[in-house]
Amino acid sequence: MPKSFEDLALKVDSVAGFVSRVQIDVMDGKFVPERTWPYFSYHDSEFVAILSESAGLPLWDKIDYEVDLMVSTPETDVFDWIKAGVKRVILHIESTEELVKLIGEIRAEFGNPKESEFAPEIGIAANNDTSFEELEEFVSLADFIQVMGIARIGYQGEKFDERAISRITQLRKKFPGLIISVDGGVNNETAPRLVEAGASRLVSGSYLFKSLNIKEAIETLRNS
């Protein structure tokens, strides 16, 4: 959850060499109360430079990025982030009523990752209050599903939401080949439970950045 471009660069540098991909959580202060870079100003100079290709995301030649769009206008924002160079985009079901249309527009403009290495992966996220039936409608349209490990999204360090376990189990049982990512509440205690339930990918933020040694924290997660 970058407070600024400099904050993003500092955090990416702290994990470079230990991970190959970084998730950026971006929030516009509308879909969720919190606000992050680059949504503090309408035309953030660093983000404009990235879009114009006169600059790039931090360590763009060493790190692949995915962006979790907790914004109220994904219909416009997602295209900017893809042009900024992210490899995966995560869209929240609750953020737009035009999600099916938006997925189609992204595929039409950038292609499908199964056919082109330059096409972004599309992930669909849903709050745990959103019904399973509503979420499963998007399984065939998305490249992966992101389960939220916390009840209140947009906040770091939140308590783990136990409903995530049952949701993962349900998804894995019904869709054996589905890639399931989990974001929120991922630490050395929850990680093995999430993987056992069927999670494919784990996204960890506060557990890593609040640790005294990020490299050791990452290794602990992997070994757990």
Could you say which DSSP state residue 159 is in? P
Q: Please choose, from the candidates 148, 160, 156, 92, the residue with its C-alpha nearest in 3D space to the C-alpha of residue 124.
A: 92
Q: Which domain holds residue 183?
A: 5-223
What are the phi and psi torsion angles at 23 (to 5°)?
A: -95, 130
Task: Write down the pLDDT at residue 58.
Answer: 97
d(CA 69, CA 92) in angstroms, rounded, equals 7
Which segments within 30-120 are labelled E, that is strand? Answer: 64-70, 88-92
d(CA 82, CA 219) in angstroms, rounded, equals 30
Indicate the number of domains in the chain.
1
Distances (CA, A) of 63 to 17, 49, 156, 214: 9, 19, 22, 17
Task: Write down the pLDDT at residue 97.
Answer: 94
Q: Please choose, from the candidates 97, 182, 178, 95, the residue with its C-alpha nearest in 3D space to the C-alpha of residue 141.
A: 178
CATH number of 36's domain: 3.20.20.70
Cβ 147 vs Cβ 181: under 8 Å:
yes
The per-residue pLDDT string of the chain (224 residues; one tens digit each, 9 = 90 and over) reads 999 999 999 999 999 999 999 999 999 999 999 999 999 987 899 999 999 999 999 999 999 999 999 999 999 899 999 999 999 999 999 999 999 999 999 999 999 999 998 999 999 999 999 999 999 999 999 999 999 999 888 877 789 999 999 999 999 999 999 999 999 999 999 999 999 999 999 999 999 999 999 999 999 999 98
Give the 3-state secondary structure of residue 61.
Answer: coil
